Chain A
Amino acid sequence: MRSGSVGVGRSLAALAGMVLLGGILSVAARADDTVRIGAPLELSGRFVTYGAQTKRGIEMAVDTFGGSVNGKKIEVLFRDVQSNNQDAVTAFIDLASQQKIDFMIGPVASGIVAATVPAWRQSKPLWIVPGSSSTQLEDGMKGENLFFHTYPWAYNYHDGTAEALAQVVGAGKKVAIIYSDGGYGREQLPWAKEFYTKAGFNIVATELVREGAADLNPVLQRLRQLKPDVLVGIVQTIDGIQLAKQVQVAKLNIPFLVGTAYPQLAEWSGALGPEAADGWIGATTYLPGMDRPADPTHPKLFPAMHDWEAAFRARYNRDPEFLDVTSYTSTMLLLLAIDEAASTDKEKVAAKLASLDVKTMLGSSKFAPTPGGAMHQAFGQMVVFQRQGNKFVIAFPADAADGKLIPRK
């Protein structure tokens, strides 16, 4: 090894460089005539799909709002967290604690959001999370007044679906549940069991599968012997593709196949083709082509679904997806709250945001506390839908339904 003092000397020089770097990074354009929103998002790495959608929604909302609020220009500071926890924490601290930004949107992936919660506590900005269904998060944010969640929680997926199925299938029928070994699957499992049992079903199996597993056949063959009436697959999208594919190949002939969010995704159905995707049931707050009207007071900010979708397509040359809609709506609500509060004080804006009652594309924007303790939850009301042929048919709740659930061939 090299002689010690040279090494130490170089190291101190490097350390000085780091301090300088920290200084460079901390210098922020601190203009008082802008309203700054921090957006640490997954713009690369494995959650890039979610981050990219969220970014689109935010940008479109800012532009539609007019680019400025209360006479000040809106500046959104995007930071790529690279789908990595350490970077997410650094980015959040940079934006919220160092640059003292009071309004934060994102991240959206469950694991990443969880990692940034402790960082949020350092300065507690007004935080909108249009993602993460993890009840771990709900628990960690109990009683927090500045936390706004605009995405379903894990349990929201299953209460409606179980009830909808009970009406069609009848009592005492058999349900088999497949769940993934990550946080996603394990968190939802107890809720699924609770709701399906409450709806009168008999849960005959709960099978674990590995996230990213290449072959789900062993589980499926075991299930075949049990002849369930309903199969519930609590997995992420990629595993959902593998599951649907192998269910098709294995010819399990289960009349009702239930997913969580993935059956609505173009990504999922595109990878499967029409035959394997047909008949799958899911729950969501947004379906493409839904007929939601504009808000009467703010039609330009919260347009009718069809109009918004057309504008989105014109702007981005692609069909909108769930997170595009969610982040657009969340951002727009924030901007409206800042406008109506006529202030950038986070407490005042939070109070205004919590009291807004706007008809958005995802439903009513009224925030309400959840049984789990989170103070501000919106858009948890889900509709249950089924893919029938080329269409989505909404089967539940009754006031939104335009069809019924039917068994697969």
Chain B
Amino acid sequence: MIASRGLVLTLYVLAAVIAVALPFGVGPLGVNLMLRAGSIVLLGISWNLAANAGLISLGHSTFWGLGSYAALLMADRLGWSFAASIVPAAALGAAVAVALAVITGRLRGIYFAIATLALSEGLRAMAVMLPDVTGGGAGIFISQELRPDARTVAIVTGLGAVGACVIAHLLSRTPFHYACRAMRNNEHSAQMLGINPLRIRVTVLALSGAIASFAGAVNIWYGGFLDPDIGFDLHITILAQIGPILGGINTLAGPIIGGLATLAISELSRSWLGAQGYSLLVYGAILIVAILYMPDGIAGALRRLRPAPPARSIGS
């Protein structure tokens, strides 16, 4: 189904309006959930962008943590405000991502993935071992005066998530999208088609890193406290992947649907079973079942339910 540009534009504007208005209509818990939903969507889109080009990241907490620490240190050492710190934090994420892309050169598949894992664990060790710079294991609180209203942060997160969707959407309309797909399938062959893999890698990773760092920075402004376990939490790496995989990797809606579904499962299982301590267990079980029986994710399962599209199809 190819919809008109107008319809798509309307839907995005609508989403943006909701992002701005929603925090005023729901209570504090709603704002918190909105923030978490926005974060998980941002992470999912970020991860998906890289995965689309064949770059599977097992260390996405790297960028989240970098963004968090950048924002924290700007607030704590330089006294910068929420608004001032966001862009530099995202820029740092992009810069490190570019460095990663250049350093890992032609590493593909599992080797690239392991490199990302190594980077995230290494950064966590550094955060712990350099307490004069990062506050170390004890962590740092953002001072009360600098902290913005929770609703403001939620709005920024929501708009950021919408913005990330727009970016991903626009990219999917350009030849860039096909270049990524080619790279995902076979990087050598892609080169023969005139694609410059390094340039694609750098672009993709820079975007991916910037978005994830943005998410980390915004989150720390909401949370008000950071230590290495929060910043470079393995949980974040997992979260970044579960959304796209559950929702359908390499689709536009996948990271969004999957991310929101993950949050919903997590919250529901916690509120129904939480007191018993079984919630993590159920979460893992659901993960297993979902991957076993929905290998193409929710988007894939939904696709199978729709009647077959006409001969010309854009979807992958």
Known contacts A14-B257, A80-B279: A187-B138 contact under CB 8 Å:
yes
Tell whether, in the assembled complex, residue A111 and residue B229 are in contact, meaning their CB atoms are under 8 Å apart. Answer: yes
Contact between B315 and A5, CB atoms less than 8 A apart: no
Contact A98 B315 (CB under 8 A): no
Residue B122 is within 8 A (CB to CB) of chain A in the complex:
no
Q: For the complex formed, measure the closest distance between the CB of A27 and the CB atoms of chain B, giving whole angstroms.
A: 10
- Contact assessment for A22 and B277 in the assembled complex, using a CB-CB cutoff below 8 Å: no
B253 contacts A2, C-beta separation under 8 Å: yes
B305 interface contact, C-beta 8 A:
no
Contact with B along A188-202 (1 / 0, CB 8 A): 000000000000000
The answer to whether the Cβ of B241 comes within 8 Å of any Cβ in the partner chain is no
With a CB–CB cut-off of 8 A, which chain A residues contact B187? none
Residue among A1, A17, A182 with the most chain B CB within 10 A?
A1
Scan residues 49-90 of chain A and give those whose CB is less than 8 A from a CB of chain B.
51-52, 78-80, 82, 84-87, 89-90
Determine whether the beta carbon of A18 is less than 8 Å from that of B263. Answer: yes
Q: How far, in whole Å, are A295 and B37 apart by their CA atoms in the complex?
A: 50
> Interface code A1-41, partner B: CB below 8 Å = 1, 0 otherwise?
11111111111101101110111011000000000000000
Whole-angstrom distance between the Cβ of B297 and the nearest chain A Cβ: 12
Chain A residues with CB under 8 A of B131: 186
- Which B14-29 residues sit within 8 Å CB-CB of chain A? 14-15, 18, 22, 26-29
Instruction: Say yes or no: A82 contacts B280, CB within 8 Å.
Output: yes
B29 touching A19, Cβ below 8 Å: no
Find out whether the CB atom of B253 lies under 8 angstroms from the CB atom of A19.
no
A43 contacts which chain B residues (CB < 8 A)? 274-277
In the complex, which residues of chain B have a beta carbon less than 8 angstroms from the beta carbon of A98? 27-30
Stretch from B5-13, B96-104, B112-120, B201-209 contacting the other chain: B5-13
Shortest CB–CB separation between residue A191 and chain B, in angstroms?
A: 13
Q: A8-B11, A14-B261 are in contact. Are A45 and B33 (CB under 8 A)?
A: no
**Chain A interface, number of residues (Cβ within 8 angstroms):** 61
Q: A1-B315, A3-B1, A4-B173 are in contact. Are A9 and B11 (CB under 8 A)?
A: yes
A90 near B36 with CB under 8 A, answer: yes
Chain A interface: which of B55-63, B71-79, B219-227, B285-293? B219-227
Please indicate which of the listed interface residues B129, B138, B147, B315 has the most CB atoms of chain A within 10 Å of its own CB. Answer: B138
Pairwise interchain contact B225-A7, C-beta atoms closer than 8 A: no
Q: Of B80-88, B190-198, B265-273, which binds chain A?
A: B265-273
Stretch in A117-125, A163-171, A267-275, A316-324 with 4+ CB within 8 Å of B: A117-125
Pairwise interchain contact B137-A8, C-beta atoms closer than 8 A: no
* Complex alpha-carbon distance, A360 and B233, angstroms: 39
Instruction: For A7, give its contact among B18, B33, B252 (CB under 8 Å).
Output: B252
Once the chains bind, are B139 and A114 in contact (CB under 8 Å)? yes
Q: Does chain A have a CB within 8 A of B308?
A: no
Chain B binding site: helix, strand, loop or mixed by DSSP? Answer: helix
Residues of B close to A6: CB separation below 8 A: 1, 3, 253
Evaluate contact between A93 and B28: CB separation under 8 angstroms: yes
A10-B257, A25-B267, A115-B223 known; A44 vs B280 contact (CB < 8 Å): yes
- Provide the bound-state CA to CA distance between A5 and B9, in Å: 9
Interface size on B, residues (CB 8 A): 78
B314 touches A3 (CB 8 A): yes
Instruction: Tell me which residues from 307 to 339 in chain A have a Cβ below 8 Å from any Cβ of chain B.
Output: none
| A residues near B276, Cβ cutoff 8 Å | 43, 80
Query: What are the residues of chain B within 8 A of A45 when measuring CB–CB?
Result: 280
In the bound complex, do residue A44 and residue B229 qualify as a contact, i.e. CB atoms below 8 Å apart?
A: no
Q: A136 in the interface, Cβ–Cβ < 8 Å?
A: yes
Across-interface contacts of A172 in B (CB, < 8 A): none
Contact of B15 among A2, A8, A94, A183 (CB under 8 A): A8
Give complex CA distance A99, B63 in Å.
34
User: Which residues of chain A are near B22, meaning CB under 8 Å?
Assistant: 19
Q: Is the CB of B136 within 8 A of A11?
A: no
Residue B108 at the A interface, CB < 8 A? no
Q: Is the CB of A183 within 8 A of B274?
A: no
Query: Provided the pairs A80-B270, A85-B223 are in contact, do residues A121 and B144 lie with their beta carbons within 8 angstroms?
Result: yes
| B252: A residues at CB distance < 8 A | 1-2, 4, 7-8
Tell which of A48, A140, A181, A186 touches B141, judged by Cβ atoms closer than 8 Å.
A140
- Knowing A85-B230, A115-B230, A122-B28, say if A1 contacts B260 (CB, 8 Å): no
Whether, in the assembled complex, B2 has its beta carbon less than 8 Å from a beta carbon of chain A, the answer is: yes
Q: What residue in chain B is nearest A110 (Cβ atoms)?
A: B138
Q: Is the C-beta of A148 less than 8 angstroms from some C-beta in chain B?
A: no
- What mask results when residues 128 to 170 of chain A are scored 1 for a CB within 8 Å of chain B, else 0? 0000001010001000000000000000000000000000000
B279 contacts A11, C-beta separation under 8 Å: no
- Assess whether A184 is interfacial by the CB under 8 Å rule: yes
For the complex of A and B, list the 10 residue pairs with the smallest distance between their C-beta atoms, beginning with the closest. Answer: A118-B224, A5-B3, A97-B28, A98-B29, A7-B253, A7-B252, A183-B138, A80-B274, A182-B137, A43-B277
Known: A8-B165, A185-B137. 17 other contacts (CB 8 A): A1-B251, A1-B316, A2-B316, A5-B7, A8-B169, A12-B15, A15-B260, A18-B37, A43-B276, A79-B271, A79-B274, A80-B277, A114-B139, A115-B225, A117-B224, A118-B141, A118-B223
